[in-house]
Amino acid sequence: MLLFFSPDISMTGYLINTRMGAYCYNLFHYKAIALVVLALGLLTHNNALVAVGTLLIAHSSFDRMMGYGLKYNDDFQHTNLGWMGKK
Protein backbone atom coordinates (compact mmCIF):
# COMPACT_ATOMS: atom_id res chain seq x y z
CA MET A 1 0.00 0.00 0.00
CA LEU A 2 2.76 2.44 0.85
CA LEU A 3 4.51 1.67 -2.42
CA PHE A 4 1.47 3.04 -4.27
CA PHE A 5 2.18 6.50 -2.82
CA SER A 6 5.94 6.40 -3.46
CA PRO A 7 5.73 8.79 -6.47
CA ASP A 8 4.61 11.48 -4.01
CA ILE A 9 8.16 11.55 -2.68
CA SER A 10 8.72 13.83 -5.67
CA MET A 11 6.96 16.59 -3.72
CA THR A 12 10.16 17.07 -1.75
CA GLY A 13 11.27 19.33 -4.61
CA TYR A 14 8.95 21.93 -3.10
CA LEU A 15 11.45 22.23 -0.23
CA ILE A 16 13.76 24.00 -2.71
CA ASN A 17 11.17 26.21 -4.44
CA THR A 18 7.89 25.96 -6.36
CA ARG A 19 9.60 25.68 -9.74
CA MET A 20 11.72 22.70 -8.70
CA GLY A 21 8.77 21.18 -6.88
CA ALA A 22 6.53 21.38 -9.93
CA TYR A 23 9.27 19.92 -12.13
CA CYS A 24 9.90 16.95 -9.83
CA TYR A 25 6.21 16.32 -9.21
CA ASN A 26 5.33 16.45 -12.92
CA LEU A 27 8.25 14.18 -13.83
CA PHE A 28 6.83 11.40 -11.65
CA HIS A 29 3.19 12.04 -12.54
CA TYR A 30 3.37 12.54 -16.31
CA LYS A 31 1.67 9.57 -17.95
CA ALA A 32 3.83 9.60 -21.09
CA ILE A 33 6.93 8.93 -18.99
CA ALA A 34 5.11 6.11 -17.21
CA LEU A 35 4.11 4.61 -20.56
CA VAL A 36 7.72 4.78 -21.79
CA VAL A 37 8.94 3.01 -18.63
CA LEU A 38 6.24 0.35 -19.04
CA ALA A 39 7.02 -0.13 -22.73
CA LEU A 40 10.75 -0.44 -22.03
CA GLY A 41 9.98 -3.06 -19.42
CA LEU A 42 7.80 -5.03 -21.78
CA LEU A 43 10.28 -4.81 -24.65
CA THR A 44 13.26 -5.87 -22.52
CA HIS A 45 11.30 -8.41 -20.44
CA ASN A 46 12.32 -6.50 -17.31
CA ASN A 47 9.70 -7.16 -14.64
CA ALA A 48 10.97 -4.34 -12.41
CA LEU A 49 10.40 -1.74 -15.15
CA VAL A 50 6.97 -3.20 -15.89
CA ALA A 51 6.08 -2.91 -12.21
CA VAL A 52 7.38 0.67 -11.95
CA GLY A 53 5.60 1.73 -15.13
CA THR A 54 2.35 0.17 -13.97
CA LEU A 55 2.70 1.81 -10.55
CA LEU A 56 3.32 5.24 -12.11
CA ILE A 57 0.29 4.91 -14.41
CA ALA A 58 -1.96 3.74 -11.58
CA HIS A 59 -0.77 6.44 -9.19
CA SER A 60 -1.05 9.31 -11.66
CA SER A 61 -4.51 8.11 -12.74
CA PHE A 62 -5.60 7.98 -9.11
CA ASP A 63 -4.28 11.50 -8.56
CA ARG A 64 -6.22 12.80 -11.59
CA MET A 65 -9.36 11.08 -10.31
CA MET A 66 -8.91 12.84 -6.96
CA GLY A 67 -8.44 16.21 -8.68
CA TYR A 68 -4.65 16.50 -8.44
CA GLY A 69 -3.32 17.47 -11.83
CA LEU A 70 0.11 18.34 -13.13
CA LYS A 71 1.49 21.37 -11.33
CA TYR A 72 2.28 24.83 -12.64
CA ASN A 73 5.42 26.38 -11.20
CA ASP A 74 3.72 29.36 -9.54
CA ASP A 75 1.78 27.53 -6.81
CA PHE A 76 1.31 23.93 -5.60
CA GLN A 77 -2.46 24.30 -5.84
CA HIS A 78 -2.40 25.55 -9.45
CA THR A 79 -2.80 22.48 -11.69
CA ASN A 80 -3.71 21.70 -15.26
CA LEU A 81 -7.14 20.72 -13.90
CA GLY A 82 -7.64 24.14 -12.32
CA TRP A 83 -7.09 25.42 -8.79
CA MET A 84 -7.25 22.88 -5.97
CA GLY A 85 -9.28 23.74 -2.88
CA LYS A 86 -10.56 27.21 -2.13
CA LYS A 87 -8.65 30.15 -3.52
DSSP code, position 70: P
Instruction: Supply the pTM of this predicted model.
Output: 0.86
Indicate the pairing of strand 82-83 with strand 75-79. antiparallel
pLDDT tens string, the chain, 87 residues long: the values are 789 999 999 999 999 999 999 999 999 999 999 999 999 999 999 999 999 999 999 999 999 999 899 999 999 899 998 898 765
- In degrees rounded to 5, what are phi and psi of residue 2? -65, -35
Amino acid at the residue 70:
L
**What is the Cα–Cα distance from 54 to 63, expressed in whole angstroms?**
14
Range of the domain at 73: 2-83
Structural domains of the chain, count: 1
